[in-house]
Amino acid sequence: MRRGISIGIIALLCLLAASPAYAELPAPEGTHLVLTAAQLWPIVLGAITPLASYVINSKLWSEAPEILKALVQLFVAAVVGAIWAAVATPAFGFNDQTLQLVITTVIANFGSHLLVWERAHVNIKLGARPRYTDAPGVPITSAQKGV
């Protein structure tokens, strides 16, 4: 498990080191990109950020309520987006471009959490409680949910 995490961290660092060069490349003639390369990278970073949030939450906040863990996930995604904005844009600060990249990262973070990582139960394997639980490993019945 630790080896897989360290390989993932090394791969992420390699992507971040190479990405400013790719962000500056012009699009080939005749292509119509909806998003620029600088805007696509926050989607990729936001998609893998939940994995780091799961590890942080399981190691430091294992008994915390899930809403607090969601806020930690939001904070981590915002920090990753801000770091990317500082790397990819010449005018880093509280401006429209930085805000756009941070919001894109946060939306990609929660989207990948709901659509990929939670459905594959990766979050549970990394220490999260299953949905609709009060205690780790104890699901709430449908009567308790109010269904």
In a domain, 78, yes or no: yes
The residue among 88, 92, 83 whose CA lies nearest residue 24 is 88
Residue 144 lies in a domain: no
- Domains: count for the chain: 1
- State if pTM tops 0.85: no
Q: Answer yes or no: is 108 within a domain.
A: yes
Residue 20 lies in a domain: no
User: Going residue by residue through the chain (147 aa), what tens digit of pLDDT does each one get?
Assistant: 555 555 666 665 555 555 555 555 565 666 666 777 778 889 899 999 988 888 887 777 777 787 888 888 899 999 999 998 888 888 777 888 888 889 999 999 999 988 888 888 887 887 776 766 555 555 555 554 544
The answer as to whether 58 is a domain residue is: yes
Interacting residues of 78 by C-beta distance below 8 A, sequence separation 6+? 102, 105, 106
117 lies in which domain range?
A: 36-133
Task: Tell whether 93 is covered by a domain.
Answer: yes
| Cα–Cα distance, 111 to 17 (Å, whole number) | 25
